[in-house]
Amino acid sequence: MIDIRLIRESPDKVKENIKKRFQHSKLRLVDKIFELDSEWRKIKTEVDRLRFERNKISKEISNTKKSGGSAAVLLKKAKEIPKKIEELEDKGKSLEMEINDMLLQIPNILHKSVPIGKGPEDNVVRDIIGRPAKNSFDVKNHAELGENLKILDFDASVELSGKGFYVMKGDLALLNQALINYSRDFMVSKGYEYIEPPLMIKENILKGVYSKSEIEQMSYKIEGEDLYLIATSEHPVIGMFIGKTLNHKELPVKLTAYSMCFRKEIGSHGIDEKGLFRTHQFNKQEMVVICRPEDSYKYYDELLKLSKELFKKLGIPIRELESCSGDLADLKAKGADLEAWSPRQKKYFEITSVTNMEEAQARRLNIKFFDEMGERRFVHTLNNTAIATSRALVAIMENYQQKNGSIKIPNALVPYMNGKKFIGGKKN
């Protein structure tokens, strides 16, 4: 959510930002907000004038009575003012709600470094880490491999829950837990406080982090209660600070959280429709930073660096892909994805996503801080996926797949697997 003052003072800047995001249908919203805001400010001015007049008349009535004169005309006038004020205030509140609803649809101002482009095809490769191995055999689909090794059971998951779920068994389930523990220890070693949040949140928190359409498309509602299953631990973690004003000495707040996550959408149909890549339920370790505005891009770089280090230690070839203007969600001022190499598909696929929302999310949730001068300012909020274990497992099952159909366990995870180095047998 942007500051209304941007539309009051620089509507052309807001329009230019919308054009850079290729959301031209929203240009009319800027003019409409400007128009309604002008009307709202006139109402506010009139209400202030009426209150001043009411106070003035009250003094005149008092003075007239003291002097023994008749205050009938003044009393009649005084009685009319509160009704006028009430009518104007009701109209003002209605306008304010309409303005806020439209403001929520205006995308955040892009950082100046964001590349301009219409969609994913225009995202920019910024870094490549690791070289894909040259295999002398055809790499199996992770779902096929998992079923062959009897460590994935999709028949059971369909029977239990329907499509978009999975049952992990044996060593793969243990490897999943190894990834959770590994990423937790990695983040804690980097100075991030570990949190395990609730798996359900209230609607007012969700509205602070998601648009109405995103809530409808992605969130599972608990029937009869003001609760939704979380889509990511970022939401309850940042929601912990709703309505709070921090002291500048408390910043930055650096948190890492593990949770199960739940999402309605499975995504596009395709080669891995049956599998772990995109599911209704998955495990994720998240990073969240709350900081001063002037420090936010320092922490953006830090979050991105941490993701690279984490996957480099796992020995998975990755690349950094910076999101272009047309591929950034409305709350994002800047963002990038890390993608892992798929030796089966001969291309990269998304495994993590880093985001700087600057003050847009903080405005929605009213999260501020007192600076050294005692001034209240909005914080900047950032988040990044440390690891989504299901996608990391896909990367491991493909990149560490052996010719004999076994899976080599990355060295960084061997201690978390009680020393076990292979799933499904020894290397040929």
Decide if 12 is inside a domain.
Answer: yes
In which domain, by residue range, is 8 found? 4-103
Dig out the tokens for 288 from the structure.
Answer: 């969240």
> pLDDT (tens digit, 9 = 90+) per residue, 308-365?
999 999 999 999 999 999 999 999 999 999 999 999 999 999 999 999 999 999 999 9
Q: Is residue 112 part of a domain?
A: no
| Residue 71 shares a structural domain with residue 157 | no
CATH classification at residue 290 = 3.30.930.10
Give the whole-angstrom CA distance, residue 30 versus residue 33. Answer: 5
Q: Could you tell me if residue 115 is inside a domain?
A: no
| Residue 282, strand partner residues | 261
Do the beta carbons of residue 307 and residue 127 sit within 8 Å?
Answer: no
| 114: in domain | no
Kindly state whether residues 294 and 359 are assigned to the same domain: yes
Question: Which region among 138-142, 289-293, 313-317 has the lowest average model confidence (pLDDT)?
Answer: 138-142
Residue range 139-151: mean pLDDT, rounded: 93
Question: What's the rounded Cα separation, in Å, for the pair 322 and 127?
Answer: 9
Q: Domain with 42 in it: what CATH number?
A: 1.10.287.40
Query: Mean pLDDT over residues 33-39, rounded?
Result: 94
Q: pTM for the complete prediction?
A: 0.89
**Nearest alpha-carbon partner for 267 in 422, 163, 132:** 163
For residue 252, cis peptide bond before it (omega within 30 degrees of 0)? yes
CA distance 402 to 135: 9
Instruction: Check whether residue 300 and residue 355 sit in a common domain.
Output: yes
Give a yes or no: residue 145 inside a domain: yes
Q: In this predicted structure, what is the pLDDT of residue 289?
A: 98
226 and 83 in a common domain: no
Average pLDDT, the chain: 92
Taking alpha carbons only, the member of 210, 352, 371 closest to residue 291 is 371
Percent of the chain with pLDDT over 70: 97
What digits encode the pLDDT tens for the residues 233-290? 999 999 999 999 999 999 999 999 999 999 987 554 444 467 888 899 999 999 999 9
- Give 198 or 55, the one with higher predicted confidence: 198
Domain count, the chain: 2
Cβ-based neighbour number of residue 393 at 10 Å: 27
386 with 304: CB under 8 angstroms?
A: no
Residues 343 and 248 in one domain: yes
- Does the pLDDT at position 11 exceed 50? yes
The reply to whether 228 and 333 lie within a common domain is yes
pLDDT at res. 56: 86
Mean pLDDT of 158-176: 94
The confidence band for 27, taking pLDDT boundaries of 50, 70 and 90, is very high
Q: Are 130 and 315 in contact (CB under 8 A)?
A: yes
Q: Band the pLDDT of 212: cuts 50, 70, 90.
A: confident
319 shares a domain with 173: yes
Would you state the pLDDT for residue 266? 56
Mean pLDDT of 71-94: 85
127 and 68, same structural domain? Answer: no
Based on the fold, state whether residues 96 and 225 are members of the same structural domain: no
Do 229 and 202 belong to one domain? yes
| Domain boundary pick from 44, 68, 103 | 103
With helix as H, strand as E and coil as C, how does the chain read?
Answer: CCCHHHHHHCHHHHHHHHHHCCCHHHHHHHHHHHHHHHHHHHHHHHHHHHHHHHHHHHHHHHHHHHCCCCCHHHHHHHHHHHHHHHHHHHHHHHHHHHHHHHHCCCCCCCCCCCCCCCCHHHCEEEEEECCCCCCCCCCCCHHHHHHHCCCECHHHHHHHHCCCCCCECHHHHHHHHHHHHHHHHHHHHCCCEEECCCCEECHHHHHHHCCHHHHHHHCCECCCCCCEECCCCHHHHHHCCCCCEEEHHHCCEEEEEEEEEECCCCCCCCCCCCCCCCCCEEEEEEEEEEECHHHHHHHHHHHHHHHHHHHHHHCCCEEEEECCHHHCCCCCCEEEEEEEEECCCCEEEEEEEEEECCCHHHHHHCCEEECCCCCEEECEEEEEEEEEHHHHHHHHHHHCECCCCCEECCHHHHHHHCCCCEECCCCC
Same domain, 26 and 160: no
Q: Determine, yes or no, domain membership for 362.
A: yes
Q: Confidence class of residue 426 from pLDDT cuts 50, 70 and 90?
A: low
- Identify the weakest region by mean pLDDT among 79-83, 154-158, 343-347: 79-83
Q: Are residues 133 and 87 part of one domain?
A: no
pLDDT given for residue 362 in this prediction? 95
- Where b means 16+ CB within 10 Å and e means fewer, 33-46 reads bbebbeebeebeee
Pick from 44-53, 286-295, 296-305, 379-388: least confident: 44-53
Indicate whether 111 belongs to any domain. no
Residue 257 falls within a domain, yes or no? yes
